[in-house]
A = this chain, B = another copy of it.
Amino acid sequence: MIPYARRMDGMKASEIRELLKLVDRPEVISFAGGIPDPALFPAQAARSAYDKALRDPAAALQYGVSEGYAPLREWIAARMRGEGVPASAENILVTAGSQQGLDFLAKALISPGDTILSEYPTYLGALQAFCAYEPRYDRLRLDGGNETPAAYSDRARATGALKALYLVPDFANPTGLSLARPQREAALALARELGALVIEDAAYRALRFEGDAQPSLQALDVASCGDLEQSRVVYLGTFSKTVAPGMRVGWVCAPRAMIAKLTLINQASALHVSSINQIAMLAIVEAGLDPLISAARAHYRAKRDALLDALARYAPGLACTMPQGGLFSWATLPQGMDAAALLRRALAEAKVAFVPGGAFHPDGGGANTLRLSYSLPSIARIEEGIGRLAKLL
């Protein structure tokens, strides 16, 4: 009997994940993973980029510094400046996707019993990253309700401190919804009043199909406090949804003091993100990130249209979100229906997969909700899959 640490009690294999391991079979139409469509991968640019990187093997194949490859940090900082955040390279840590940024931030911040505020539902991978550090969760309500800052901090103080608000402001995983400007302002005001940080997960931010872009929480906060070094927002970015997830390159943009802490954590964990991948990623984005983003927007927009169209046609009674970007729509079944049970039937009888919504709720709610990702199946398969699913309903 191996004496695991107590934190492992909160890290369990999910039954749903085990079920969804079966969706790789070609006969299953899967709306489950939030997986980029490989048709969008910049294969030719990647070949050129790795070829270029390997012209200097002493750099591409050697250890690198934990902060990340300096020219890539510069490039990302310039990109952040284009979004209204006055970052320099010293404000950037390169991470193995934004998921690793979530882990490192949780490690830096959360002592057992501390509170994380998030909307319910929220990103499952964030809950998994945080859970290793044994937080409690409280539900963030940006429409007010009858929550006051005092109510949040009273509940938090019972077990620890209120450490951070976690938000996916743009085309959230799992709902596909975005925060309107007043909700962004409300989140920042609440964080200020609570003395808490804000973790801004911007994984889908670039994938806007329509509507006006909202400023990032970090840009809004910097505009209000005047200085990135004084900002309470930590921004997590990634190239996984715009270039390619298999390279595992993302970043954290934060005040320098926070970057220094996260760099220590990286030194003690994977040391640094693969040198060759950082060098190749810089070559790819220098050759042109914006055309990749434009192509992804058009591609996923057409798929979203196909999904919503099929849902309207085949399942007009199903309440679904209407995402203006990203990879997900979120459906709500009639009260009392169980999406996990539906998944079992859908896999067995219709060969269709999705993710039941319960896993995205820290409080065990959301049993009648589900996440539909339209990123991977073809338009014809989206229509076919929703048709099959609707027959079950």
Q: Which residues of B contact A103 (CB under 8 A)?
A: 268-270
A6-B111, A114-B5, A277-B276 known; A100-B61 Cβ under 8 A? no
Which B-chain residue is minimally distant from A99 (CB atoms)?
A: B271
A344 to B132, CA, bound (A): 40
Query: Is B5 a contact of A270 with CB atoms below 8 Å?
Result: no
Which B-chain residue is minimally distant from A257 (CB atoms)?
A: B2
Closest CB in chain B relative to A232 CB, distance in Å: 8
Which B-chain residue is minimally distant from A161 (CB atoms)?
A: B3
Query: Is B54 a contact of A274 with CB atoms below 8 Å?
Result: no
Query: Is A54 a contact of B61 with CB atoms below 8 Å?
Result: no
Q: Which residues of B contact A246 (CB under 8 A)?
A: 59-64, 274-276
Q: Which of A183-191, A259-267, A313-321, A324-332 touches B?
A: A259-267
Which B-chain residue is minimally distant from A100 (CB atoms)?
A: B270
Cross-chain contact of A54 among B35, B50, B240, B261 (Cβ < 8 A): B50
Q: How many copies does the complex hold?
A: 2
Cross-chain contact of A36 among B62, B133, B163, B197 (Cβ < 8 A): B62
From 243 to 282 in chain A, residues with beta carbon under 8 angstroms from any chain B beta carbon are 244-248, 257-258, 260-261, 264-265, 267-277
Which B-chain residue is minimally distant from A53 (CB atoms)?
A: B50
Closest CB in chain B relative to A243 CB, distance in Å: 8
A5 to B8, CA, bound (A): 18
| A356 CB-CB contact with B under 8 Å | no
- Per the CB 8 Å criterion, the residue count for chain A at the interface is 74
| A13 CB-CB contact with B under 8 Å | yes
| A43 CB-CB contact with B under 8 Å | yes
| A7 CB-CB contact with B under 8 Å | yes
Q: Which residues of B contact A110 (CB under 8 A)?
A: 5
| A28 CB-CB contact with B under 8 Å | no
A41-B58, A103-B269, A111-B5 known; A35-B63 Cβ under 8 A? yes
Q: Which residues of B contact A29 (CB under 8 A)?
A: none
Query: Is A4 a contact of B245 with CB atoms below 8 Å?
Result: no
Query: Is A163 a contact of B54 with CB atoms below 8 Å?
Result: no
Cross-chain contact of A41 among B3, B57, B269 (Cβ < 8 A): B57
A60 to B43, CA, bound (A): 10
Query: Is A99 a contact of B270 with CB atoms below 8 Å?
Result: yes
Besides the contacts A125-B267, A125-B268, A132-B268, what 20 more A-B pairs have beta carbons closer than 8 Å?
A2-B109, A3-B195, A4-B108, A5-B109, A8-B261, A8-B264, A11-B268, A12-B264, A38-B58, A38-B62, A41-B58, A41-B62, A43-B61, A46-B57, A47-B51, A51-B51, A57-B244, A63-B246, A100-B269, A246-B276
